Structure 1
């Protein structure tokens, strides 16, 4: 193949993928099979959230949750007439408020809102938004929050509310956990899965890590993976670097080209897109997807970072037993991932476990 013959090319629109005929000669090469396909791709790119935008949304949700807990605890201290403790907690609330103000500003920039409109909402000069709350300043504030939270006041954890309402007749009894117990009856070694130095990656970063690890396991170079999946090499490179969040069609093609299991990737893709997982997805497959994104560490290594036994971890991956939510949360943190996207799948598994078995004479459910 000569340098002037770049080989077969395909439309950059992930929903198309048709081959593009390139005529020999000079001129700018075509990237879309038609002008209409190019316009559709650009419209979808504007609507599709980037990994940075998804990270901003996840960070804002985390800060809002921390702020709500801090305000609730501060109300309790005020009613209990503990002014010194309330004043100490006020410093935490003020820091959370600054974080919560910075992130929506960056979210507005992600939506291409003007600084003048943002400043008008806050009632401050536009120059203050540009100077004190620039994109770099917001990024530094997000990175420094992990250092500031190490010294923040310890608040009592509240049970996370379920994201879906349990159907009538579904038992809400707590599922027993499968945690290691010391043989001598002493204290259990604390879990390191939620150590302050460990910060779970957002859903978009987890999807990128999973696809990148699949590509490394396949041993295929970038050009060969692009040819096997029918996607342009430039787009594959942007997906594997985290610059682009692919459509499900592209994510599935890349998974199949690397001999992976799409069932393990689909929950990660849904979380990266900010979508609620469907009932067709299963909790064990999602956990295996997180395991893949973490480069598949052995169960003994995961057991060292958690209070779960290796046998229990294997059962969670295989789906032989339904774990308690705190076990799912701890395993997700040990895999350096957020656990909250798994909550709908865990709720669905609990509902399926409590549902009555179908009659032997009845039709087989599809």
Structure 2
């Protein structure tokens, strides 16, 4: 049978779902039965769906806003560190911050439309033409933004991951979830970044010793990835650092803490956890000298100042239970830590101390 004898096939319109014959034999097959259907389909792609409630965007706007604040803090910290940062670290943080801001405005526009705002109002506020706004922030375009963001977002840590963070071999601490963990992820990223800079190791070598790729090491140090405990251990050992100094930061970054209802630790365990938590926070501040915190510790006694120097040093800080809570709280605040979390480590240290705790006299009393 020749092509002339072949009966024409019907095509289904993508807009009205009706059937029509192909008007021309050559070229690409049409998708719409008429110009009216083609125009209507084009308009439908740029009209905000009224069925999408505002709460679909509220949570995502909040999450991106927190990410913007976190990256801005990391960028400010990297710019003010006494130790030079990686050559590209500030630029890497800036690019990630800019990407978050672009995602934020896209979803915020759709949120405003879902809440009743008009395109003209958004145009006046952003000094952008209405046609450009409708093109950039149409529903399909914003859906692509949300999809890409979900693909690159690190997964939320699972409670079962804490089982690998035991302090001693064969020990399995009990953990409970915390509502906030972003501060610890930032601190952990800063601590790992400082360890890398002070070690002088190439990123590729550090990744090899940690069991991950070089690109993943960069993402961990920028706070874009939440590493497994095995990765943190390998990272610390490669940089000649005690992994215990990073354990509390890692636990907090996962959203876990020691459960006060669990087994009472020994004095040695309580002291190791207490000192490790402070040394981890000290790493996150690039091991700033003690003089940096002189204003915050002006009420501490001379004995407490010596204990703090030992606490942040490489040797075991014997007698750390003599530190009063006001001094511990002031040091925690100076190191940008979580005071409530540190209180939960300070209490077991005091209660398991082998010798009675003596009251301290502030250094100011000596003139």
What is the TM-score normalised by the length of structure 1?
A: 0.43
Larger relative contact order (Cα-Cα within 8 Å, sequence gap ≥ 6): 1
